[in-house]
């Protein structure tokens, strides 16, 4: 089990480093979470890059297969992470279309959906994936790419 958890944490750390290397967009008010509508095109490009890392991480975590124990917690962790990926796809799509209200809604949903990701990965022992260190591609310390 320790090897499985270690592999998951290494994947999350590598994805986190790659995501952190994506330059955060410069917005008019300095915020990616609460931007002006005029900032959405640059945010859409930023999210497109982050989503690529998120999807790759999801595939890599899935590729680890079934852990020797705690299978239901692992399955729950992956499902929660996939929800986050969907939230960011919704945010990216809203930003791409210039819909500030939909973007803000998607970001708020991601913040809510991030709690189970942190809880589930911590319970499994994959603390890096839960945001305990370098985690998934993210400009923040959360398990998901919650922009600040």
- Tally of CB atoms within 10 A around 93: 16
SS3 call for 74: helix
Kindly state whether residue 56 falls inside one of the protein's structural domains: yes
pTM to 2 decimals? 0.86
Domain assignment of residue 138, yes or no = no
**Contact present, 22 and 141 (Cβ < 8 Å):** no
8 A C-beta contact, residue 129 and residue 142 = no
* Residue 7 within a domain: yes
Structurally, how many domains does the chain consist of? 1
Q: Is residue 81 part of a domain?
A: yes
Six-digit token pair at 134? 């370098």
Backbone angles phi, psi at 24, to 5 degrees: -70, 135
- pLDDT tens, N- to C-terminus, the chain (148 residues): 999 999 999 999 999 999 889 999 999 999 999 999 999 999 999 999 999 999 999 999 999 999 999 999 999 999 999 999 999 999 999 999 999 999 999 999 999 999 999 999 999 999 999 986 433 333 333 344 444 4
65 in any annotated domain = yes
Inside any domain, residue 61: yes
**Residue numbers of the domain that contains 74:** 2-19+38-124
Q: Does residue 101 belong to any structural domain of this protein?
A: yes
Residue 4 region by backbone torsions, left for phi larger than 0, else alpha for psi between -120 and 50, else beta: alpha
Tell me whether residue 84 is in a domain.
yes
**CB 126, CB 15: distance < 8 Å:** no
């Amino acid at each position: 089990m320790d090897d499985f958890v270690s592999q998951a944490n290494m994947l999350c750390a590598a994805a986190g480093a790659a995501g952190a290397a994506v330059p955060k967009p410069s917005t008019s008010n300095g915020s990616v979470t609460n931007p002006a509508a005029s900032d959405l095109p640059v945010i859409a490009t930023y999210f497109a890059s982050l989503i690529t890392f998120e999807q790759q991480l999801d595939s890599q975590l899935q590729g680890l297969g079934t852990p020797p124990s705690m299978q239901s917690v692992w399955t729950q962790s992956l499902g929660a992470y996939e929800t986050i990926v969907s939230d960011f796809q919704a945010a990216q799509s809203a930003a791409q279309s210039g819909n500030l209200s939909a973007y803000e809604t998607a970001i708020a949903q991601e913040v809510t959906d991030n709690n189970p990701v942190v809880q589930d990965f911590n319970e499994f022992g994959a603390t890096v994936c839960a945001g305990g260190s370098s985690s998934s591609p993210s400009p923040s310390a959360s398990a998901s790419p919650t922009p600040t």
